[in-house]
């Protein structure tokens, strides 16, 4: 059986490696504002503060984290479904 996240093809991607808080959340929020409700954004984040803050802030904005994957280089790929305008 395939991994659930493999079936999800993101509508857009954002690579925020090396981007500090809160700029990484601001860039994520701006990208989500350009997208339609129901679309999925893939975001690459550094471990530590970005991984603690960005998903929490995205959820506070009314969106849903539908996937989190730790990558080999100690970054994370998160999938965010836009659930709110």
Report DSSP letters for 59-85, one per residue.
HHTT-EEEEEEE-TTSEEEEEEE----
Please identify which of the residues 8, 10, 12, 21 carries the catalytic annotation. Answer: 21
* Known catalytic membership, residue 21: yes
What does the domain layout of the chain look like in residue ranges?
4-81
Between CA 44 and CA 64 the distance in angstroms is 16
Examine the pLDDT at 17 and tell me if it is beyond 70.
Answer: yes
* Residue-averaged pLDDT of the chain: 93
Contact 80, 43 (CB under 8 A): yes
- Which pTM was predicted? 0.90
Helix axes 49-60, 23-34, angle to 10 degrees: 40
Res. 1: pLDDT tops 70: no
Contacts of 68 (CB under 8 A, 6+ apart): 55, 76, 77, 78, 79
pLDDT grade for 40, boundaries at 50, 70 and 90: very high
Query: Which CATH homologous superfamily contains domain 4-81?
Result: TusA-like domain (3.30.110.40)
């Amino acid at each position: 059986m395939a991994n659930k996240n493999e079936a999800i093809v993101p509508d857009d991607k954002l690579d925020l490696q090396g981007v500090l808080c809160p700029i990484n959340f601001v860039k994520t929020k701006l990208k989500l504002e350009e997208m339609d409700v129901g679309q999925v954004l893939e975001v690459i984040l550094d471990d530590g503060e970005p991984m603690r803050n960005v998903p929490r802030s995205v959820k506070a904005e009314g969106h849903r984290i539908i996937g989190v994957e730790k990558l080999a280089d100690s970054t994370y790929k998160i999938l965010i479904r836009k659930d709110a305008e």
